[in-house]
Amino acid sequence: MSSPEIASLSWGQMKVKGCSTTYKDCKVWPGGSRTWDWRETGTNHSPGVQPADLEEVVKKGVKTLVIGRGMSEALQVPPSTVEYLKKNGIDVVVLQTEKAVAEYNALAAGGVKVGGVFHSTC
């Protein structure tokens, strides 16, 4: 099962190929995607992305996880979150969201078992 391409990205809107939903923030993994609802884990811009935000994607067996920090990189990624991924044997890439989507799409096109969590505003 391959990771779905992110078809489009603009401020506050993301589309995943093969999915009719327009996301604000989203999670993607080989074979699927869904809304990333920060309220589920109490996430805020600071301290930022928590391991709990990533568990669902990690459980899908990804080898690489790309985190999009937002258009202005307002979303923080604490060292403990990066350590959580590395302890699980997952490569992690943290970038501004436009760059993160480009990297994710390149990895997916190359057949890498890649997942991502992307913030599409600030």
Q: Give the chain as a 3 state SS string.
A: CCCCCEEEEECCEEEECCCCCEECEEEEECCEEEECCHHHCCCCCCCCCCHHHHHHHHCCCCCEEEEECCCCCCCCCCHHHHHHHHHCCCEEEEECHHHHHHHHHHHHHCCCCEEEEEECCC
Number of residues that this document lists for the chain = 122
Residue 26: both structure tokens together: 């989203």
Cβ neighbours of residue 113 under 8 Å, at least 6 residues apart?
A: 3, 30, 61, 62, 63, 64
Tell me, what's the pLDDT at 100? 98
* pLDDT tens per residue across span 62-95: 999 999 999 999 999 999 999 999 999 999 999 9
Q: Where are the domains of the chain?
A: 6-118
With 90 as the cut, is the pLDDT of residue 110 above it?
Answer: yes
Tell me, what's the pLDDT at 1? 87
* pLDDT tens per residue across span 22-73: 999 999 999 999 999 999 999 999 999 999 999 999 999 999 999 999 999 9
With 90 as the cut, is the pLDDT of residue 113 above it?
Answer: yes
Domain 6-118 class in CATH: alpha beta
The whole model's pTM is what? 0.97
Tell me, what's the pLDDT at 21? 95
